């Protein structure tokens, strides 16, 4: 299988807790993400620079800072956290645990065993479908949606549509990284969107 060339910045300082103000010794979350994120050139196709956040998630302090930074703008505004398959699951589970709420899985087509709502959408490399169990969410539940990257906004727009079809209220959308050139916010009209880093 093809793998692109990796460029990664090596951090001289470990990530710090989000509970203290940013300093040179305690960098802001965007600096932590930039420091740890690996860039894979020509993946998944030539000309694309893929931002791989798995090194950020693998660093315990960085993961805590990322999750705290995603949750804090929405404190008191959500009852559950939805994660979009697959990396969104990592963030949603951690955020749900940190906030004492439930976690909802928005999955790729064919993964869920019971009756589902389905939403198809375009993404930067093709088309896909997301699904959500019809009975996982009580009507009126306020749901915070988390994912790793906001690119074209198709995935997150589909997730929001699914949740609303299930009777939930979308409390907001949080992502670690937003690719500004792809204008993904245009697919999330009227949504409160928090991005920890812009590229």
Cα separation, 199 vs 193, in Å, equals 15
Q: Which of 87, 119, 131, 178 is catalytic?
A: 87
DSSP 10: P
Cα separation, 85 vs 130, in Å, equals 9
Q: Which of 13, 124, 164, 165 is catalytic?
A: 124
Residue 137 contacts residue 114 (beta carbons within 8 Å): no
Burial class of residue 161 in the structure, from the number of CB atoms within 10 Å of its CB (0-12 exposed, 13-18 middle, 19+ buried)? middle
Angle between helical axes of 29-36 and 60-71 (0-180°, round to 10): 140
Cα separation, 136 vs 67, in Å, equals 23
Residue 124: active-site member:
yes
Angle between helical axes of 60-71 and 87-99 (0-180°, round to 10): 70
Cα separation, 126 vs 71, in Å, equals 31
Residue 142: active-site member:
no
Q: Catalytic residues, which ones? A: 87, 124
């Amino acid at each position: 299988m093809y793998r692109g060339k990796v460029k990664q910045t090596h951090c001289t300082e470990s990530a710090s807790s989000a509970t203290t103000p940013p300093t040179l010794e305690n960098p802001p979350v965007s600096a932590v993400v930039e420091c740890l994120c690996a860039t894979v050139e020509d993946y998944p196709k030539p000309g694309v620079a893929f931002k791989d956040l798995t090194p950020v998630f693998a660093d315990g302090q960085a993961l805590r800072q990322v999750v705290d930074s995603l949750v804090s703008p929405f404190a008191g505004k959500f009852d559950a956290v939805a994660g979009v398959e697959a990396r969104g699951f990592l963030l949603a589970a951690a955020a749900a645990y940190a906030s004492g709420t439930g976690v909802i899985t928005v999955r790729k087509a064919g993964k869920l065993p019971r009756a589902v709502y389905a939403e198809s959408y375009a993404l930067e490399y093709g088309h896909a479908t997301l699904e959500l169990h019809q009975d996982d969410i009580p009507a009126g539940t306020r749901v915070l949606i988390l994912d790793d990257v906001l690119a074209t906004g198709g995935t997150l727009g589909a997730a929001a549509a699914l949740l609303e079809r299930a009777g939930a209220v979308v409390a907001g959308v949080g992502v670690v990284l937003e690719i500004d050139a792809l204008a993904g916010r245009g697919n999330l009209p009227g949504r409160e969107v928090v991005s920890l880093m812009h590229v």
